[in-house]
Amino acid sequence: TYSMLYLEDPYPYDGAVRKDVGIGDVNVESIDSRSKYDNTLIYSRKFFQDTQVNGLSTFDLLSYKDVSDKYGIIKGLEELGNVLVIICSEGVLTAYVGATEYTDVSGNINVVKSTDPIGYVRPHSERYGTVLKESILNNGKYIYFFDLYNGCVVRKAYNGLYPISGSISMDSNVYNYKMRGFFKELADSLIASIYSTSPDHFYNGRVYFGYDSYYENLYVTFVDKITSTNNITLIFNENRNRWVCRY
């Protein structure tokens, strides 16, 4: 028989003798040392480039932000301008980096500088997300990902979050990217392959994104290990704002 021992040394790699906490030892229990943070953003101290100040290996107890479980599991973090984009399986949230928001007595939202690296976390009203983290791509101007359960390719820009398949209304304009039915049918078929053996076998189906900055093409590749007819690549051209090719 054996028992699990928890390491309570705050600096386990400094070369000093470590202390393992046994069942019979008198010690103050640290709950945080045993906690698993599923939907928490934990950040270190600051790093200053071209100096000897490097706090990347030091994490303070209160240096974290919680994300509500109603948005699903965090699948990716991307930076877009001065905003941190938090992509979850059932939603997308944003937070200012080094700034935060507050609402004044008149109801106006203001952005002010903050010493907190991650400011107020604001969820998008559109409920798009992804369980396929390989599909998340950031080209510096947009963030793309594939929403498997809504069956669409989603583009995150500075002015919002919207799919680039089907017809959408934005800024008093209507944009028709077409391909809505095609992506929905393809997503449903991919879901069937993923769950064909047992739940959560996502290695049966993957979606990979790539971007060609010269031609401004977005490449979307579907890999299905069960149904080979789903193994295709499609190309979206940003200049033409259209799906232009299929391989």
Q: Are 223 and 212 in contact (CB under 8 A)?
A: no
Let me know if 2 is exposed, middle or buried by CB neighbors in 10 A (0-12, 13-18, 19+).
exposed
Whether the per-residue pLDDT at 34 is higher than 60: the answer is: no
Angstrom distances, CA of residue 6 to CA of 17, 18, 20, 60, 149 = 15, 11, 6, 19, 40
pLDDT digits (tens, 9 = 90+) for 92-112: 999 988 887 777 777 777 777
**For the chain, what is the radius of gyration of the CA atoms?**
22
Amino acid at 72: G
- The pTM of the full predicted model, rounded to 2 decimals, is 0.79
CA angle (185, 161, 192) in 5-degree steps: 25
* Rounded distance between C-alpha atoms, residue 110 and residue 94, angstroms: 15
At a CB cut-off of 8 Å and minimum separation 6, what does 20 contact? Answer: 5, 6, 7, 8
pLDDT digits (tens, 9 = 90+) for 51-78: 888 988 888 888 888 898 899 999 999 9
Q: Are strands 217-224 and 205-212 parallel, antiparallel or unpaired?
A: antiparallel
Structure tokens at 135: 């599909």
Give the pLDDT band of residue 230 (cuts 50, 70, 90): very high
Count of C-beta atoms within a 10 Å radius of residue 3: 6
Average pLDDT over residues 187-215: 85
* Rounded distance between C-alpha atoms, residue 198 and residue 102, angstroms: 46
Whether the per-residue pLDDT at 2 is higher than 60: the answer is: no
Q: Are 156 and 126 in contact (CB under 8 A)?
A: no
Count the alpha carbons within 13 Å of 13 in the hemisphere toward its beta carbon: 2
